């Protein structure tokens, strides 16, 4: 569809704000339902995940972790004789982000029959979107059935005196930089903080990690302990229970000084803040439909925004604050796209607990992996969360070396596994694994949690010998032994 003057309107069934993976998924599903779809993107088609988050961070981390794995295997470790080639690592990253050229992804969007508009999209009242192009011209789009907001989130910088002067790295600098700072201070204790600590220490920085609480505080407590131990062994100076109270960087190209709450100071060449996210909703016209600019958007199970009349406005991915993970946003996009199609066709919605139009996995079965050394992965509820939710439950804990495959994976393998069992229904409520290679265990755990597979049946899912997956057999056997006793 060609652009039209600002006083004319292009009308579509569905308009999507944001062409990241979440926006692309809702657009694909709505178009598959026979609806005409327009997608508006103000930056790069492919979004944060493709260019500054998931893809580049994992492209950078893989060489670091591959070398670390090799150094744990007799015979292989002798072949690791030099430092990591940082130029090769950065070139690998550049390939995976296509040198920040989104033309390929833009072609892919258009090839599906979806119209792509480049510019800043803002709501302009109910079912209307204004698109302001880079040259300042503007176009008004109308939506017959739905507008879906998939604009993501932005780095939230902490309110620390001197932070503007310090010019900190955000998550974007952490993945698009091609210079290794001699000393890097990282503030935060979540997923971005631990992954960036693993990465930059592996590339040659002396990393100091400063966290107010234990690392990865939303996971089982043992996760933070093992990740802290792993980071410390690689040379990261991990300090938890501390807070940065001030920053100074008087010279533009000079070092930054961090003051801590105990009065001590740290000097670094760069500082990276990984202290949470804020919704990218500040300038998308929320006020024109009665919502608060810059706010997270509350949604129902179909991702329909609450507090807006007419059942036409959806919010997907980070903006609804349910689970700030790309895979969960894509899941929401698929589900909401189907819901939009059903509503447009006048079909009944199945928004029951695990229905086709319900995003209930966001509350019950969110999988997450952090590519640290060791890896940490979990799905579902922690023991504390399960208890707080009123479940009568128990936990089964095992050292990962109970599985022979773990011992073969790395000499001196260290790791831990936990499952949370609902005692009344005898199904899994959650599972957590820490150790090398455990990320590939996670989908089997997710299937068990989502499918609510009875443990007496799950034991018939035989794990291959000798794989790390055998840990499942030992976890289930330990539960049965406890039950019998």
Span 211-232, pLDDT tens digits: 999 999 999 999 999 999 999 9
User: What is the second-level CATH architecture of the domain 9-46+102-154+279-361?
Assistant: 3-Layer(bba) Sandwich (3.50)
How do the residues of the chain divide into helix, strand and coil, expressed in percent and rounded to 5?
35, 25, 40
- pLDDT value at residue 5: 39
Q: Where are the domains of the chain?
A: 9-46+102-154+279-361, 163-275, 374-484
CATH class of the 163-275 domain in this structure: alpha beta
Q: Tell me whether the CATH fold assigned to 9-46+102-154+279-361 matches the one assigned to 374-484.
A: no
Q: Where does 33-170 have alpha helices with state H?
A: 47-51, 54-70, 86-96, 103-111, 163-166
- pLDDT value at residue 142: 97
CB proximity list for 227: less than 8 A, separation 6 or greater? 194, 215, 216, 370, 372, 374, 376, 434
- Which element (helix H / strand E) includes 233? helix 221-234
- As a whole number of angstroms, the distance between CA 397 and CA 404 comes to 17
Q: What are phi and psi of 110, to 5 degrees?
A: -65, -30
Check if the beta carbon of residue 56 is closer than 8 Å to that of residue 93.
yes
CA distances from 416 to 190, 218, 270, 431, 446 (A): 19, 17, 34, 11, 18
Residue (of 76, 72, 93, 65) closest to 376 by Cα position: 65
- pLDDT value at residue 9: 55
- As a whole number of angstroms, the distance between CA 324 and CA 366 comes to 10
Q: 344: which 2 tokens?
A: 């447009």
pTM: 0.94
Measured N-to-C along each axis, helices 326-345 and 21-32 cross at an angle, to the nearest 10 degrees, of: 30
- As a whole number of angstroms, the distance between CA 181 and CA 319 comes to 33
Q: What separation, in Å, do the N-terminal and C-terminal C-alpha atoms of the chain show?
A: 70
- As a whole number of angstroms, the distance between CA 118 and CA 133 comes to 6
- As a whole number of angstroms, the distance between CA 11 and CA 396 comes to 56
Residue 481 falls in which region: left (phi positive, over 0), alpha (psi -120 to 50) or beta: alpha
Widest pairwise Cα distance in the chain = 77
Q: What are phi and psi of 340, to 5 degrees?
A: -60, -45
User: What is the second-level CATH architecture of the domain 374-484?
Assistant: 2-Layer Sandwich (3.30)
Check if the beta carbon of residue 193 is closer than 8 Å to that of residue 186.
yes
Question: What are the mean pLDDT values of the chain's consecutive 10-residue runs (485 residues total)?
Answer: 46 98 98 97 97 97 97 96 96 98 97 96 97 94 98 95 95 96 98 98 98 96 97 97 95 91 96 96 97 97 95 97 95 96 94 86 93 97 97 98 96 97 98 97 96 95 96 97 91
- pLDDT value at residue 333: 97
Q: Where does 259-379 have alpha helices with state H?
A: 326-345, 361-364
């Amino acid at each position: 569809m060609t652009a039209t003057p600002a006083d004319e309107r292009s009308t579509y069934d569905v308009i999507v704000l944001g062409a990241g993976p979440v926006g692309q998924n809702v657009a694909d599903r709505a178009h598959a339902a026979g609806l005409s779809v327009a997608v508006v993107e103000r930056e790069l088609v492919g979004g944060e995940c493709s260019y500054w988050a998931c893809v580049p961070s994992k492209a950078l981390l893989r060489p670091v972790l591959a070398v670390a794995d090799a150094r744990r295997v007799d015979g292989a470790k002798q072949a690791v004789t030099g430092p990591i080639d940082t130029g090769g690592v950065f070139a690998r990253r550049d390939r995976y982000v296509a040198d920040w050229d989104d033309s390929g992804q833009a072609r892919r969007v258009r090839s599906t029959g979806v119209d792509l508009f480049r510019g800043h999209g803002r709501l302009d009242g109910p079912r209307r979107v204004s698109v302001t192009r880079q040259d300042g011209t503007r176009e008004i789009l109308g939506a017959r059935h739905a507008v879906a907001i998939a604009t993501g989130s932005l780095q939230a910088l902490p309110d620390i005196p001197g932070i503007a002067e310090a010019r900190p790295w955000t998550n974007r600098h952490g993945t698009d930089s091609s210079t290794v700072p001699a000393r890097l201070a990282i503030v935060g204790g979540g997923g971005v903080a631990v992954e960036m600590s693993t990465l930059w220490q592996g590339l040659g920085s002396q990393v100091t990690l400063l966290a107010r609480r234990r690392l990865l505080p939303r996971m089982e407590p043992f996760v933070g302990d093992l990740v802290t131990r792993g980071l410390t062994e690689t040379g990261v100076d991990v300090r938890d229970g501390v807070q940065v109270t001030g920053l100074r960087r008087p010279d533009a190209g000079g070092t930054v000084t961090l003051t801590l709450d105990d009065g001590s100071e740290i000097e670094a060449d760069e500082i990276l803040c990984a202290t949470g996210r804020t919704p990218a909703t500040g300038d998308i016209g929320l006020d024109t439909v009665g919502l608060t600019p810059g706010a997270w958007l509350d949604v129902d199970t179909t991702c329909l925004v609450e507090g807006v009349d007419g059942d036409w406005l959806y919010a997907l991915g980070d903006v609804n604050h349910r689970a700030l993970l790309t895979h969960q946003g894509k899941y929401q996009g698929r589900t909401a796209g189907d819901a939009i199609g059903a509503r447009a066709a006048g079909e009944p919605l199945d928004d029951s607990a695990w229905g086709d139009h319900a995003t209930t996995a966001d509350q019950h079965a969110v999988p997450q992996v952090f590519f640290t050394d060791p890896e940490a992965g979990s799905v579902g509820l922690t023991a504390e969360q399960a208890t707080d939710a009123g479940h009568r439950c128990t936990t089964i804990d095992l050292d990962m070396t109970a599985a022979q495959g773990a011992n073969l994976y790395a000499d001196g393998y260290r790791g831990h596994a936990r499952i949370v069992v609902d005692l009344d229904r005898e199904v899994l409520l959650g599972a957590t694994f820490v150790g090398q290679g455990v990320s590939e265990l996670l989908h089997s755990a997710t299937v068990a949690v989502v499918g609510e597979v009875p443990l007496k049946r799950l034991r018939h899912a035989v794990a291959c010998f000798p794989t790390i997956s055998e840990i499942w057999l030992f976890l289930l056997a330990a539960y049965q032994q406890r039950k019998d006793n």
